[in-house]
Amino acid sequence: MSTTKILITGATGYIGGAILSALLNSRDAKNYEISALVRKPEYVTTLSAKGVTGILFQSLDDLTTIKEAATNHDVVINAASASHDQSAIAIIEGLAERRKNTGVHTAIIHTSGTSILADRPISGEWIDTAIYSDLDDIYSYEKNHREIYSQRVVDLAVVETGEKLGVTTFIIVPPTIYGKGNGFFSTISQQVPNLTRLAIKKGQAFVLGKGEGIWNHVHILDLAPLYTLILHSFLTKSPIPSGKPGIYFAETGEHTWLEVSQGIAKAAVAHGLLKDQAIGSISLAEAAKETGIDERLIELALGSNSRARADLSRNIGWEPSRGNLEFYAHFEAEVGAVAKEYK
Ligand SMILES: NC(=O)c1ccc[n+]([C@@H]2O[C@H](COP(=O)([O-])OP(=O)(O)OC[C@H]3O[C@@H](n4cnc5c(N)ncnc54)[C@H](OP(=O)(O)O)[C@@H]3O)[C@@H](O)[C@H]2O)c1
């Protein structure tokens, strides 16, 4: 295999950091020349010591730098934002230029999230407890959805711009990601730590409504290998789905929001962060006030049903090794990490 130039966004984050480590530790690492778009000079220094070239940019709105960087790479792994369509489009435009200039096939592996499947059970607008497989036509599901939602907008833009400009697209759609990451910078996730901080602020763990919504989970160290698997398959020309059918879920089990809050409460009591394990119930309006996040978004993010099955990912050889047991056991460590912020 000749050298492949890979660019990653979000390398200082939880997901991107774990992907970068997986790339550096992969069997093909010697064939990869890896760069990362980052916002601070100190990140460039840290990455340089790991053999990764840092490229400075201002933000995801710095479309000129993003496009130019993509033009100099064969594959871009986009793990900075699931909700920023213009940067994803700039990446694909740059990869199309690369293909035009070199004749080499180019690809983007974009990160979405299973809130694309989320319903609205708290407001009662619509309830959808169906389980979606990534063997289903997820592109059409997103295209024909009743509601415009940023992550679906980006997914559609990625697929359609890729098709138009001749760039291969893969979209990975993680659910709640948990566990300690192994990136060089941020190594903790968002949902459980954020809920823990809120529980501490309110003096009690809570759920929206009754907390009956069901979501999936995946451990960060099971998720990252799905990226390297898809990358390897693309580079070795294995015939795996891309474009419209190339939307891959990643899950290893399900939980309810109530179970998450119970896990947080138990661990928070053990760490002396809460007095008891009682679970309160709050309204969308209260949750929005507490978090500063829009009511519409918080319903999707913290109260919905979103049920996925990663059948396609497993069909192409993804072999996650952690399941429900690891998920239910992880609260202790994740709440423990948040506890350090309060010392
Ligand atoms: N964690 C989850 O459970 C989960 C599940 C599904 C989907 N997702 C989605 O995946 C994406 C990444 O998640 P994460 O958990 O890895 O988040 P994270 O730890 O906060 O990392 C975000 C990364 O993206 C970069 N970034 C964010 N906004 C940027 C901007 N405006 N300009 C330039 N760089 C920017 C950050 O750079 P700096 O270091 O410079 O801030 C960081 O490298 C998010 O869109 C998230 O919604 C997350």
Q: Which atom of ligand 1 is nearest to the CA of 11?
A: 43
Task: Name residues whose C-beta falls within 8 Å of residue 195's C-beta, 6 or more positions apart in sequence.
Answer: 205, 260, 261, 264, 302
Q: Is residue 201 part of a domain?
A: yes
| 199 and 176, same domain (yes or no) | no
Mutation test residue for ligand 1: of 64, 190, 306, the one with most atoms within 8 Å of CB: 190
Mean of the per-residue pLDDT values of the chain: 96
Which H/E stretch holds residue 178? strand 176-178
| 153 and 260, same domain (yes or no) | no
> What tens digit of pLDDT does each residue of 75-117 get?
999 999 999 999 999 999 999 999 999 999 999 999 999 999 9
* pLDDT score for 7: 98
Identity of the amino acid at 62: D
| 36 and 134, same domain (yes or no) | yes
**In CATH, what number is assigned to the domain containing residue 325?**
3.90.25
| 237 and 279, same domain (yes or no) | no
| 14 and 40, same domain (yes or no) | yes
CA of 1 to the centre of ligand 1 (A): 31
> What tens digit of pLDDT does each residue of 290-301 get?
888 999 999 999
pLDDT at residue 329 tops 70: yes
pLDDT at residue 1 tops 80: no
The three-class DSSP label of residue 304 is coil
Mutation test residue for ligand 1: of 7, 9, 12, the one with most atoms within 8 Å of CB: 12
| 225 and 310, same domain (yes or no) | no
CA of 81 to the centre of ligand 1 (A): 5
Q: Taking CA 80 as the corner, what is the angle to CA 142 and CA 216, rounded to the nearest 5 degrees?
A: 55
Tell whether ligand 1 has an atom less than 6 A from the beta carbon of residue 87.
no
CA of 12 to the centre of ligand 1 (A): 8
CA of 20 to the centre of ligand 1 (A): 14
Which structural domain range is residue 272 located in?
191-214+254-342
Q: Which atom of ligand 1 is nearest to the CA of 191?
A: 3
Spatial distance between the Cα atoms of 87 and 84, rounded to a whole number of angstroms: 6
> What tens digit of pLDDT does each residue of 32-74 get?
999 999 999 999 999 999 999 999 999 999 999 999 999 999 9
Tell whether ligand 1 has an atom less than 6 A from the beta carbon of residue 246.
no
Mutation test residue for ligand 1: of 8, 9, 15, the one with most atoms within 8 Å of CB: 15
**In CATH, what number is assigned to the domain containing residue 92?**
3.40.50.720
Cα distances (angstroms) measured from residue 179 to each of 176, 215, 225, 291: 10, 16, 15, 23
CA of 87 to the centre of ligand 1 (A): 13
Q: Is residue 123 part of a domain?
A: no
CA of 278 to the centre of ligand 1 (A): 32
Among candidate residues 249, 272, 297, the one where a domain is terminated: 249
pLDDT over 70 percentage in the chain:
100
Closest CA to ligand 1's atom 32? 59
CA of 336 to the centre of ligand 1 (A): 22
> What tens digit of pLDDT does each residue of 225-246 get?
999 999 999 999 999 999 999 9
Tell whether ligand 1 has an atom less than 6 A from the beta carbon of residue 15.
yes
CA of 275 to the centre of ligand 1 (A): 32
Among candidate residues 249, 270, 296, the one where a domain is terminated: 249
Confidence of residue 255 (pLDDT cuts 50, 70, 90): very high
As a whole number, mean pLDDT of residues 165-171 equals: 98
Tell whether ligand 1 has an atom less than 6 A from the beta carbon of residue 150.
no
Q: Is residue 29 part of a domain?
A: yes
Q: Which DSSP letter does residue 187 get?
A: -
CA of 79 to the centre of ligand 1 (A): 6
| 202 and 302, same domain (yes or no) | yes
Q: Do β-strands 107-111 and 168-173 pair in parallel, antiparallel, or remain unpaired?
A: parallel
- Residues 91 and 162 sit within 8 Å (Cβ to Cβ): no
**Total count of domains within the chain:** 2
Mutation test residue for ligand 1: of 59, 83, 110, 111, the one with most atoms within 8 Å of CB: 111
| Dihedral pair phi/psi, residue 270, rounded to 5° | -60, -35
Closest CA to 180 of 165, 197, 193: 193
Confidence of residue 343 (pLDDT cuts 50, 70, 90): confident
| 272 and 328, same domain (yes or no) | yes
| 269 and 156, same domain (yes or no) | no
Among candidate residues 227, 249, 271, the one where a domain is terminated: 249
